[in-house]
Amino acid sequence: MPTIEDLQRDTDSAVAVAAPTSVATPAPPRTFNARKKKKPWKSWLLFLLFAGPNVALLIVFTYKPLLQSLYYSTLQWNLGSASAIPVGLGNYVAWFTDPGTARVVTVTLIFTVATVGGGMVIGLLFAVLLNRKLHGRGAARTIVVAPYVLSGVAVGLLWLFVFDPNFGITAALLDAIGVASPPWYNDPHWALVMVIIVYLWKNVGYVALIYLAALQSVPRDVLEAASLDGASPVRAFRNIVLPLLGPTTFFLSITTLLSSLQSFDIIQAMTRGGPLEGTTTMMYQIYEEGFQAGRAGYSSAVATILFAVLLVVTLIQMKYVEKRVHY
Amino acid sequence: MAQQITTATRRRKPLQLGGYLGLAVAIAIMILPLLWMFLAGFKERDEIYTVPIQWFPETYDLSNYAAALAAVPFGSFFLNSTIITVIGAGLKLLLGLTTAYAVVFLEFPFKKFVFGLVIFALLVPQQIVMIPNFTLVASLGWINTYQGIIVPGLASAFGTFLFRQHFLTLPISILEAAALDGASHWTRLWRFIVPISAPTIAAVALVSIVSEWNEYLWPLLVVDRSDMMTLPVGLMLLQNNDGVTNWGVLMAGTVLVTVPVLLAFFVLQKRIIAGLTAGGVTG
């Protein structure tokens, strides 16, 4: 009978597998030359040598462009053009009053909610399945995670063939039950469903993996005590396991939201935002406006709005978690 | 007691069966599309454009692969991807290690602020800053160069975070011994800390390699010459060649892009999975 140790070995305990609680614990002082207080500037200089290059890169390629983007958003400026006209909040006004904006926001919301929410539900289901003492679950875990390490472009292209309305697998499967294949390529709604399915297929393994690691750290005797108490497996899961997974769910909700909002490869490979802009998310719009239409100022305004939304959502998540999750 | 165990096992049986069924469905969903891609790479046109679909090709010849290799310079793509991945992931690892070392073991008045600066960068999607970065790279004359692809994404935020978490768990006695030995910080990092952190470093390295290899948007923006393209960017050229998609050739190209990663994943999966899980379990 496998013990908890066995299960943990399965996920390779080589990486620091600290409990989620470690986040909240203040770190003990680690500067082991703290007693030689004589020349602090020497340590400061070393610190700059060690951390400086990384911080400099972040400033040059993350923080400075973040501010630049904010500034560009106030310009009417075409990418590569030498001249720009300051328009104040004009780009923002243009975006909020554009008749196409409602569609872009809806597409972004549907895509995000479906990929983040769907990913967490399916991922948790897979994790529960992979956590059972079944033969072949090691191989199954490998197979479930495999698509996650593949190129999004390659995944998008191969699924495009799977979804071919005439010669693809889905057409054949639907034909077997007497249903005609939906126009995946030509209908904006079906195209959105298609890219969501592909995104889930590629990324669900990651969610499953993280949940699996968390499930394996749930003490088995807690579950056994519950089942001896007569609690059904479903109730034991809902009342005991799910709350214990709280910090993991929080972590996943932030990371999967960030990657979902950034997803580009699959949409570019499969639909290029179409048909009829049915798969144009805000992220795709930023690319399209900036690099296809060349409207760099407008694109920067959309980028700024998206970043603001991202910050607010993350802050709300953190606030909510402070109340709900007990580390 | 014995009574309870037998009822428990009896209740297990149908559950067990359901479990295997679920496992089989999950595996089928994950594998079938990949299998479809592999088989299509060998199919003739009339085996692809046929209803009902034909799963297996009559012969396994490589003409689609030959056509893909003739249509676009896959050799250059492969070389470019390899160079960019090795240099990019290597430097990123180095930056992560030194930054984490500084944050954990060295003194500096604004240490918390510096670490916060690194961590907050995780919240800034690359696409938010791509227009300014593109302008900068273009003004440096770095379009269609390796440095143009590598440098803007080089900084290490996630790696720094993971290494810091790991360094905080190291036994301080070893490091004190090293300090008494009179070893410099540079030596301490490479002689003492890196060797005992090898599993963590390997895990983080593999995850960086995978994401560097698959990176698409940025290389797409800064490269327009096919001899400088990486595999994901170059693969898309196969799709654009004519109006109607030639699935056989396109799938052959897709196989060429995915198979090296799949093989590496199957061989190194323990480490890669450890790397992917590290963030979730510690953070």
Q: Which residues of chain B are within 8 Å of residue A283 when distances are taken between CB atoms?
A: 125, 127
- Higher-confidence residue: B180 or A24? B180
For A325, the 3-state DSSP assignment is coil
Kindly state the DSSP code that residue A278 receives in the 8-state scheme. T
Q: Give the DSSP letter string of A26-76.
A: PPPP--TTTT--S-HHHHHHHHHHHHHHHHHHHIIIIIHHHHHHHHHTTEE
- Higher-confidence residue: A3 or B76? B76
Which residues lie closer than 8 Å to A263 by C-beta, 6 or more apart? Answer: A111, A115, A152, A199, A281, A283
Residue B43's Cβ-side half-sphere holds a number of Cα atoms within 13 Å equal to 23
Interchain CB distance below 8 Å, A258 and B123: yes
Question: What domains are defined for chain A?
Answer: 98-294 (1.10.3720.10)
pLDDT recorded at residue B11: 54
Interchain CB distance below 8 Å, B125 and A307: yes
pLDDT confidence band for A24 (50 / 70 / 90): very low
pLDDT at A29 > cutoff 80: no
Interchain CB distance below 8 Å, B276 and A206: yes
Question: Average pLDDT of B12-28?
Answer: 83
pLDDT confidence band for A17 (50 / 70 / 90): very low
- Higher-confidence residue: A36 or A224? A224
Closest-approach residue (CA) in chain A for B277: A210
Q: Give the DSSP letter string of chain B.
A: -HHHHHHHHHHHHHHHHHHHHHHHHHHHHHHHHHHHHHHHTT--HHHHS-SS---S-SS---HHHHHHHHHS-HHHHHHHHHHHHHHHHHHHHHHHHHHHHHHHHS--TTHHHHHHHHHHGGGS-GGGGHHHHHHHHHHTT-TTSHHHHHGGG---SHHHHHHHHHHTTS-HHHHHHHHHTT--HHHIIIIIIHHHTHHHHHHHHHHHHHHHHH--HHHHHH--SGGG--HHHHHHHHHHSSSS--HHHHHHHHHHHHHHHHHHHHHHHHHHHHHHHHHHHH-
pLDDT recorded at residue B115: 93
pLDDT recorded at residue A61: 96
Question: What domains are defined for chain B?
Answer: 16-61 (no CATH), 71-282 (1.10.3720.10)
Q: Which residues of chain B are within 8 Å of residue A53 when distances are taken between CB atoms?
A: 95, 98
pLDDT recorded at residue A19: 36
CB of A95 closer than 8 Å to CB of A74: no
Q: Which helix (H) or strand (E) holds A86?
A: strand A85-86
Kindly state the DSSP code that residue A99 receives in the 8-state scheme. T
Measure the CA–CA gap between A65 and A94, rounded to whole angstroms. Answer: 23
For A110, the 3-state DSSP assignment is helix
CB of B153 closer than 8 Å to CB of B88: yes
pLDDT confidence band for A327 (50 / 70 / 90): very low
Q: Give the DSSP letter string of A114-136.
A: HHHHHHHHHHHHHHHHHHS--TT
pLDDT recorded at residue A97: 95
Measure the CA–CA gap between B62 and B253, rounded to whole angstroms. Answer: 12
Q: Which helix (H) or strand (E) holds A85?
A: strand A85-86
Interchain CB distance below 8 Å, B102 and A265: no
The predicted-structure confidence for A267-280, as pLDDT tens digits, reads as follows 999 999 989 999 99
B82 touches A at CB < 8 Å: no
Measure the CA–CA gap between B276 and A107, rounded to whole angstroms. Answer: 29
Highest mean pLDDT among A179-183, A229-233, A278-282, A316-320: A278-282
Give me the amino acid identity at B188. R
What count of CB pairs under 8 Å joins A to B?
340
pLDDT recorded at residue B274: 86
Interchain CB distance below 8 Å, A54 and B261: no
Distances from the Cα of A272 to the Cαs of A284, B126, B242, B246, in angstroms? 8, 19, 16, 18
pLDDT recorded at residue A4: 39
Question: At which residue do the structure tokens 């961590």 appear?
Answer: B119
pLDDT confidence band for A10 (50 / 70 / 90): very low
Closest-approach residue (CA) in chain B for A205: B30
- Higher-confidence residue: A66 or A22? A66
Measure the CA–CA gap between B144 and B225, rounded to whole angstroms. Answer: 7
Interchain CB distance below 8 Å, A32 and B109: no
Phi/psi for A191 (5° steps) reads: -65, -40
B residues 57..76 contacting A (CB < 8 A) = none
Question: At which residue do the structure tokens 């790397």 appear?
Answer: B275
B8 touches A at CB < 8 Å: yes
Q: Which residues of chain A are within 8 Å of residue B20 when distances are taken between CB atoms?
A: 134
Distances from the Cα of A105 to the Cαs of B113, B240, B251, in angstroms? 35, 29, 33
pLDDT recorded at residue A302: 96
CA distance B156 to chain A (A): 7
pLDDT at A161 > cutoff 50: yes
pLDDT recorded at residue A22: 39
A residues 259..318 contacting B (CB < 8 A) = 261-262, 264-265, 268-269, 283, 286-287, 290-291, 296, 299-300, 303-304, 306-307, 310-311, 314
Q: For the purposes of burial, counting CB atoms within 10 Å of the CB of B149, is it exposed (0-12), middle (13-18) or buried (19 or more)?
A: buried
Q: Nearest Cα to A270, choosing from A261, A259, A281?
A: A281
pLDDT recorded at residue B280: 62
Question: At which residue do the structure tokens 């890169």 appear?
Answer: A57
- Nearest by CB to B26, which of A129, A213, A269? A129
ipTM of the complex in this document: 0.90
Q: Looking at A219-223, A257-261, B194-198, B267-271, which range is the least confident one?
A: A219-223
The predicted-structure confidence for A69-86, as pLDDT tens digits, reads as follows 999 999 999 988 888 899
Optimal mutation site among B78, B166, B207, B254, interface A, most CBs of chain A within 10 A = B254
Phi/psi for B171 (5° steps) reads: -65, 125
Tokens of A174: 């639907």
The predicted-structure confidence for B27-60, as pLDDT tens digits, reads as follows 999 999 999 999 999 988 888 888 788 888 888 8
pLDDT at A54 > cutoff 90: yes
CB of A220 closer than 8 Å to CB of A4: yes
A258 touches B at CB < 8 Å: yes
- Higher-confidence residue: A311 or A226? A311
Tokens of A115: 């990929």
CB of A43 closer than 8 Å to CB of B185: no
pLDDT confidence band for A34 (50 / 70 / 90): very low
A residues 202..241 contacting B (CB < 8 A) = 205-206, 209-210, 213-214, 217, 227-228, 233
Closest-approach residue (CA) in chain B for A52: B99
